[in-house]
Structures are given as C-alpha cells and as structure tokens.
Structure 1
Amino acid sequence: MRRAIIVDITIPHDDNLVNAEKEKVSKYLDLAHEITALWNVESTVIVPIVVSVNGLFARSFDLLLKKLSLGCWIKGRIQKAVVLETARIVRSFLTLEP
C-alpha cells in the first residue's frame, strides 16, 4: 500500500497545544486530498507534531509517533531540542543591551 505522509512541526505556547494540532490538520486537508489524487496513493496522512516551548507534548503525540513508525526514544530528543532552543532564545533576549 502506497501512502503519503505530511509532517508539520509546530512549537506553540503551552496553552495552545490542542488548538495548534487542530489547526495543522485542518490547514493540510485540501493538500492531502490533492496529493492522494495526483500522486496515485491510497491515502495521505497528516501528522502534526506539536511540542510546547516548555517541552510539553499533545496527548496524541505517542499515536503520531506510531504513525511515523518511530519509537518512543525520539520523544526525549525532541523534548530536549525544544527546551534547549527555548533557553537559547531567552538567553539571547536577556543579553540585549538597552
């Protein structure tokens, strides 16, 4: 079975996790239908990877990892990358001179 996968990664603030996930799915619905028709695949799956700036995951994160055939080992790496980047941004903001 041939299928296409659209992966979109977003890093919203903590209180926008659920909204960000819904927004990403609805944003790509038309594209998914078009890809299915144009590329002659059976289905197109939309996988929104949503991790908050503080490293929190959406509840559906584990299911989405399974869709991508990725193990839970990547969860910690993604979380670490997001938190380190957030710290880098905060650090650079705090060192700005007035």
Structure 2
Amino acid sequence: MIKVFMLVMIRIDTTDNNILFDRAVRRAIIVDITIPHDDNMVKAEKEKVSKYLDLVHEITAMWNVESTVIVPIVVSVNCLLTKSFDQHLKKLSLGYWIKGRIQKARIVRRFFTL
C-alpha cells in the first residue's frame, strides 16, 4: 500500500501531471492520464513513457529517491484499456476494482458531453 506523503503537480507542455512521492521506500511515481482514440492507444502509451524519460533522471537526483516510475493511465474514448493497465495498477498499489470505476467515469463523462 502506498502512503502518499507528498503529491506534487507539475506543468509540462500545458498539461498538469501528478507525481506521488512514497518516502517510506524512497520512490517517486509519475502518473499521466490520457484519453486517445481507440486506434492510438499503444502509441499514446509509448509517447507518455518516452515524454518523461528525461524527467525521471531529474526527479531521482533532485528529490533524492531511489527510483522513479512512469505510470501512464490510458483509457480510450470508447472506454477500452491497454493490455498493460493491470501492471500499472500494481505499480500504484490499487486494486482491480478501480478498472470498472475508471471505465464508468469515462462513460458518464462521454454522456455529459453529448
């Protein structure tokens, strides 16, 4: 279970991103959420990881943590999830119950924008 000791919002390319710091194990987790079209899900996930590679090294050195992990949360426009979604939930120490809630939130949001 991750105990969030510090949540930092950073701004990169006009988007806000969350960084969770777990001081107990000296680990930082960069969480970035994106909602691409169904055809671009794998591409979007790879772009999110490559976008933060330089930042990972900076955070590790600047905040004196042992490791920094990038967790891209990718939910498509039609509520599809990537194959690696379960692995990302494990990195965040979240249960699998959250998958249904994320998909439900996306469906409700889509309904309100119609």
In the superposition, the TM-score normalised over structure 2's length comes to: 0.77
Please say if 1:28 is aligned against 2:52: yes
Gaps of 5+ in 2: 1-24
Which protein shows a greater Rg? 1
Equivalent position SS for 2:73:
strand
2:77 is aligned, of 39, 48, 53, to: 53
Shift of residue 28 of structure 1?
Answer: 0.6
The CA distance in 2 between the partners of 1:85 and 1:18, in whole Å, is 22
Percent pairwise identity: 77
Gaps of 5+ in 1: 92-98
Shift of residue 80 of structure 1?
Answer: 0.5
The CA distance in 2 between the partners of 1:20 and 1:82, in whole Å, is 17
Q: Which structure has the highest strand share of the two? A: 2
Please say if 1:73 is aligned against 2:108: no
Please say if 1:3 is aligned against 2:27: yes
Shift of residue 87 of structure 1?
Answer: 1.9
Q: CA RMSD in A?
A: 0.7
Q: Which structure has the highest helix share of the two? A: 1
**Alignment: residue pair count:** 90
Higher relative contact order (CA 8 A, sep 6+): 1
Equivalent position SS for 2:52:
helix
